[in-house]
Amino acid sequence: MVYWQTSRRRIALDRTLVMGILNVTPDSFSDGGHFTEIDTAVARAEEMISEGADIIDIGGESTRPGSDRVTVDEETDRVVPVIQAIAKRFGIPVSVDTTKSEVAKAAVDAGAEIINDISGLRFDDRIANVANDYNTGLVLMHSRGEFESMHSQPPVDDIMAEVAADFLRSIGLALGHGVKSENIVLDIGIGFGKTFEQNLELIAKLDKLVVEFDKFPLLVGTSRKSFIGKVLDGAQPGERLSGSLASVAIAVWNGANIVRVHDVKETVETVMMVTQLKMET
């Protein structure tokens, strides 16, 4: 049995888990800032839990193209009360989507048990110190470039090799700070510094990375992302459900251990269906 160790529990990864996205960013591209109030955020978390979410991922800084950075204080003020309320009210594991160690520490003190770093420790490697100090789960996502330039990176030739090499660097940094392997989950970082074709390639060939990094669980986040809009002739974020579910199906088929999504109910059903089919291979 494979487990993911967090500061509060050992999460069994005997099936693909569903991580529900909860944005507390006023400028978030698909939630439109509707979930800024604590009560609304708690209600949305409750809804996702009732739909079968296994983890709630809470983020206070939008990383969509053109977003401005928020300060440590602003980001902390956005996420901490929401994390506190959700961790206290529900038993579910909470992760914090941040690249700042100060925010990560405040979030963990508020009840988060996983740190989800979209920079894979490139922006602030003290994230690893917080993860080590508290024994939290740590998601190391692949991305390229700095915050402002990560969506306009010149493409690399071989994205599979690039992601693998960068995974090794992030893992090395984490282990060097004392983080244990059992706390680490890797993420291919769909939409971050990849071409349209490379996003598709990473999902289609995910099984190669699953084999190459078999000591680490893999997380995949495709939900409503722009590569889906491009495949679907310009579909807007709210019109990308079928595309999101199709990409989840292939990611799960290829061995993804966790999927990060907006649409929990539909994703849970998709995961159940693919899991049952895969058992016959």
Is residue 120 at the binding interface for ligand 7PJ, with CB under 6 A as the rule? no
Please state, as a whole number, how many other Cβ atoms lie within 10 Å of the Cβ of residue 154.
8
Interaction between residue 58 and ligand 7PJ (CB under 6 A): no
Nearer to ligand 7PJ, 89 or 150 (CB): 150
Active-site annotation holds for 169: no
CB of 198 to ligand 7PJ, least distance (A): 14
Q: Which is nearer to ligand 7PJ, 88 or 195 (CB)?
A: 195
What is the gyration radius of the CA atoms in the chain, in angstroms?
17
Give the binding-site size for ligand 7PJ (rule: CB under 6 A). 14
Cα 238 from Cα 224, distance rounded (Å): 7
Residue 148 phi/psi, 5-degree rounding, is -70, -25
Measured from the CB atom, is 61 or 268 closer to ligand 7PJ? 61
Nearest approach, Cβ of 276 to ligand 7PJ (angstroms)? 25
* Beta strands per DSSP E along 132-270: 137-141, 184-187, 218-220, 258-261
44, 100, 122, 225: which one binds ligand 7PJ (CB under 6 A):
225
Which is nearer to ligand 7PJ, 103 or 139 (by Cβ)? 139
State the amino acid at position 230 in one-letter form: K
> Applying CB under 6 A, does 206 fall inside the site for ligand 7PJ?
no
Site for ligand 7PJ in 140-179 (CB under 6 A): 141
Is residue 63 involved in binding ligand 7PJ (CB under 6 A)? yes
Sign of the Cα pseudo-torsion (71, 145, 132, 5, in order): positive
Q: Would you count residue 118 as binding ligand 7PJ (CB under 6 A)?
A: yes
Q: How far apart, in whole angstroms, are the C-alpha atoms of residue 13 and residue 180?
A: 17
Task: Please identify which of the residues 44, 144, 225, 240 carries the catalytic annotation.
Answer: 225
Fill in the amino acid letter for 66: G
Amino acid at 168: L
In this structure, what token pair is assigned to residue 246?
């199709």
Q: How far is the CB of 95 from ligand 7PJ (least distance, A)?
A: 8
Euclidean distance between CA atoms 149 and 135, whole angstroms = 31
Q: Does residue 97 bind ligand 7PJ (CB under 6 A)?
A: yes
Beta strands in the chain (DSSP E): 3-5, 10-12, 17-23, 55-59, 94-97, 114-117, 137-141, 184-187, 218-220, 258-261
Residues 122-141, one symbol each (x = binds ligand 7PJ by CB under 6 A, - = not), give -----------------x-x
What's the distance, Cα to Cα, between the start and end of the chain in Å?
20
**Is 194 a known active-site residue?**
no
Name the residues annotated as catalytic: 225, 260
Report the interface residues with ligand 7PJ, using CB under 6 A.
21, 63, 97, 116, 118, 139, 141, 187, 189-190, 219, 221, 225, 260
